[in-house]
Structure 1
Amino acid sequence: MLLSVIIVSYKVPQYLQLCLESLTRSLKNIDSEIIVVDNASEDATIPLVKTAFPQVKLLVNSENKGFSKANNQGVAVAKGKYLCILNPDTMVPETCFQDVLAFAEKKDDLGAVGVRLIDGTGNFLPESKRNLTTPKVSIQKLLSNGNSYYATNLDETETGKVAILVGAFMFLKRQLYQEVGGFDERFFMYGEDIDLSYVITQKGYSNYYLGKVTVLHFKGESTVKDRQYALRFYGAMRLFARKHFHKSNLFDRLLGFAIKLISQTYAAQEIKKPINLGFERRYWVSDTPNLNDQPDDILRLNWDGLRAAYSEKPQHSRFIFDLEGSRTADVITAMQQLKNRQNTFRIRPSNCNFSCGSDSAHHRGQVL
């Protein structure tokens, strides 16, 4: 088998449905398997996978074992030459794995491969490519200075070597994953991708950022950005620094104190709600000929009509993309063409009565 895709899911059944539909399209004609490890979601996830995607291998945990341990569970039963660690709140274009596999097969020093990620507003996510998270970089990140945290030397659409990739999409050989011991299970959530990226380079391999492949990552659908999030995120940086760089108890205590201060800032922001952008008009985008349940106040656009509208730069609009009559690659392109003009986006998986999307990388998304 050529490829195994591992997805750890936690309480995001609608986003997982979107992800699995896009994966099914992208893996067509590729000898592959999809493995979903559910971390005790206790919602519609299990019946969804069993009913809508019976070909998916499903592992069900009775408790939330965290990102690292659950991924290691999935890899333990995987059969592919390559692995892709993928978040459930992602949507991949049809040619995603065809392009990544073609790139990987040409590299003798292949470590892990990452791709260009965009959020639910169509904007680039800079954590797609990062520098090594040294203690100095960690402190700067704590102080909201991300210039040294992100690999800004490489343009977002370029391809090149980077130190650190993001766990939302990490592609590598299964043999290499096993060689380095997989994800360090001391990282419950966050930091495990930094650690794995670094360990791979320490073994003499190179990590690559592939900027020509764009994947939608709604980001944070399994996590609320609150005080607990801050403690876990920056605590993971502390663990990474302790593991690889600093054995100093004094430095460790200082970093721990700084993390507590930062977490208090997050706690003060917990009551804030996502900004409601609103919209003046709604568009349903699809090439499906009929839509019986289309609301009276929604405007119909086929894909040719939407592309023609790009030059008009529509604003204050909500675009609902129906995957039943759309390519995932076209949806990803459209979001980037229409971004930053107070437009919002929702995506309806095929044959579903809901759509999902996110208007901010800092807040949970919305299912309608």
Structure 2
Amino acid sequence: MSQENQPLVSIIIVNYNAGDLLINGIRSILNSNYQNLEIIIVDNVSTDNSHKKCKEEFKDVKLIENKINLGYCDGNNIGIQNANGEYIVIMNPDTIVEPEWLEELFKAHDEFGEGIYQPKILSLNEKGILQSTGNMIHLFGFGFSRDVGIVDKNQRNKIEKIGYAAGTCLFTSANTIKKIGLLDSFIFLYHDDVDFGWRGAQLGISSYFVPKSIIYHVKSYTLQWGAKKFFWLERNRKYCILTHYSKETIAKMKFTLFLTDVLVWLAYISKGFLMAKINAEREIRKNRDIIKKRQKELEDKKIISDLELIKTFPDAISISDNSGGRGSEFFNSMIVKLSKKAKKTLLS
């Protein structure tokens, strides 16, 4: 595809003290084979001046400086609202791309049509180690990356449907975002991509993994696996359950959801994150009216039923060992049993 025929792609990067990772990432993007790009950096009040250094080095970058930290979701939403591209990429600042990454995403889009696409994501610091070959939604609201932590042997070498595209690098059209809607402001960060892909699936818009598109990612350069991260993950997991499922679906799953919650409580207590779980529960209860309103909005827009989507959800979850043990063998085996039990009730 010649540059004259290349549609404009707006690449949105939300930055918060990413340091040299941001500059290295922009440099790799500018070395892409695909050249008709608009790069938008949305800075969430960084104190390391990484955004200003980046603007000094790359004059054509569009810099938007927020007055307060708006989080990942609204940071990206501001970028989307200021984007001119026919296509949109949401990308983390701690990523490096291969030169052909965007061309491969376009090839996939040309073949499969409207959808949400993600590349193969490899670790930037651990050579040949996978971070994601596509992300999946679990019945109980967990989102997880396939093949995380294993050696890349090109195991998955075909474009295929997945549960949702990782927010680390997400490619779609501006028109698709209009249909699905912006990222959910309530979520703030973590699980934003689960929510976005789930909403897309409810509208019949699939997500895809593109193995020939390759990027490298540091992973969690701001929040490592700790209490704060677990708080956001659990708060937003429960938010997704309560907003994406119908009242009827939740009622049928009530017992298995309760047992899953017991498992999560035990996992958080065992890792010393009891207050993170308590605070997550408090946040959900405090925002019941917001959740109720959002659930109705999504239910009214839904084209694909809960039961149709649930059939595509895997029973097992896959979480790296450094996540604090939530992906332990015992936890996962119990989740598999509960998932199968819930599906039997729902689909019978």
Aligned CA distance change for structure 1 residues 361 and 165 (closer, same or farther; 3 Å): farther
CA contact (8 A) 1:225 1:266 kept: no
1:60 Cα offset (Å): 1.0
- The corresponding residue for 1:220 is 220
Are 1:60 and 2:79 counterparts?
no
Q: AA paired with 2:92?
A: N
2:155 matches 1:158: no
Where does the alignment leave 5 or more consecutive residues of structure 2 unmatched? 1-6, 149-153, 274-319, 324-348
Q: CA deviation at 1:82?
A: 0.7
CA distance in structure 1 between the partners assigned to 2:93 and 2:259 by the alignment: 35
Q: Give 1:156 shift.
A: 3.2
Q: Distance in 2 between matches of 1:79 and 1:361?
A: 41
| Deviation by residue 1:213-263 (Cα, 9 ceiling, x = unmatched) | 221011011212211111112222111111112655887776666545433
Could you tell me how far apart the structure 2 residues matched to 1:73 and 1:250 are?
40
Structure 2 CA distance for partners of 1:105 and 1:16, relative to 1, 3 Å:
same
- What is the match of residue 47 of structure 1? 52
Which residue of structure 2 lines up, in the alignment, with residue 118 of structure 1? 122
2:93 to 88, 113, 120: 88
Distance 2:185 2:244 in 1: 15
Partner of 1:38: 43
AA in 2 matched with 1:132? I
Matches within 5 A, 1:228-243: 228-243=228-243
State the distance in 2 between where 1:105 and 1:182 align.
23
Query: Contact conserved, 2:120 with 2:212, CA < 8 A, in 1?
Result: yes
CA deviation after TM superposition for structure 1 residue 38, in Å: 0.8
SS at match of 2:63: strand
Q: Secondary structure at the match of 2:222?
A: coil
Is the Cα contact below 8 Å between 2:34 and 2:102 reproduced in 1?
Answer: no
What is the rounded CA distance, in whole Å, between the counterparts of 1:61 and 1:254 in structure 2? 42
Q: Give structure 1 regions of 4+ aligned residues with deviation exceeding 2 angstroms.
A: 105-108, 122-128, 130-133, 149-152, 154-158, 245-268, 360-363
Q: Corresponding residue for 1:182?
A: 182
AA in 2 matched with 1:103: A
User: Any idea what SS the aligned residue of 1:238 has?
Assistant: helix
Structure 2 equivalent of residue 22 of structure 1: 28
Q: Secondary structure at the match of 1:131?
A: strand
Q: What is the root-mean-square deviation in Å for CA atoms of aligned residues?
A: 2.8
Instruction: Specify the structure having the higher radius of gyration (Cα).
Output: 1
SS of 1:105 mapped into structure 2: helix
Find the aligned partners of 1:116 and 1:361 in 2 and give their Cα distance.
20
Q: Which residue in 2 is equivalent to 1:281?
A: none
Query: Is the 1:231–1:260 Cα contact (8 Å) retained in structure 2?
Result: no
Structure 2 CA distance for partners of 1:241 and 1:19, relative to 1, 3 Å? same
Bigger strand fraction: 1
Distance 1:123 1:29, change over 3 A: closer
Range with greater deviation from structure 2 (81-90 or 259-268)? 259-268
Letter in 2 for 1:53: F
Q: CA deviation at 1:178?
A: 1.6
Q: Hey, which of these two has a bigger chunk of helix by percent?
A: 2
Contact 2:120–2:132 (CA under 8 A) maintained in structure 1: no
Q: Would you say the 8 A contact 1:37–1:74 is kept in 2?
A: yes
Between the aligned partners of 1:92 and 1:76, the Cα distance in structure 2 is 24
Q: Which residue does 2:19 correspond to in 1?
A: 13
Query: For the structure 1 residues 188 and 256, does the alpha-carbon distance in structure 2 shift closer, same or farther, using more than 3 Å as the test?
Result: farther
Partner AA of 1:160 in structure 2: E
Amino acid at match of 1:158: K
Q: 1:18 to 1:263 in 2, by over 3 A?
A: farther
State the alpha-carbon separation in 2 of the partners of residues 83 and 11 from structure 1. Answer: 23
Identity of aligned residues (%): 23
* Inter-partner Cα distance in structure 2 for 1:256 and 1:128: 28
Q: SS at the partner of 2:112? A: coil
- CA distance in 1 between counterparts of 2:47 and 2:59 reads 19
Shift of 1:267: 3.9
Question: 1 CA distance for matches of 2:45 and 2:268?
Answer: 27
Shift of 1:116: 0.7
Task: Note closer, same or farther for the CA distance 1:232–1:29 as it changes in structure 2 (3 Å cut).
Answer: closer
Counterparts of residues 1-368 of structure 1 (less than 5 Å): 1-26=7-32, 30-108=35-113, 110-119=114-123, 120-135=125-140, 138=142, 150=146, 155-245=155-245, 247=250, 258-267=263-272, 362=322
Task: Give TM-score, length-normalised by structure 1.
Answer: 0.64
1:256 to 1:155, Cα distance in 2 relative to 1, 3 A: same
In structure 1, the residue matched to 2:335 is none
Structure 2: which amino acid aligns with 1:54?
Answer: K
CA distance in 1, matches of 2:225, 2:271: 8
**SS of match in other structure, 2:90:** strand
Q: Distance in 2 between matches of 1:217 and 1:52?
A: 22
Question: Distance between the aligned counterparts of 1:166 and 1:50, measured in 2?
Answer: 26
TM-score by length of 2: 0.67
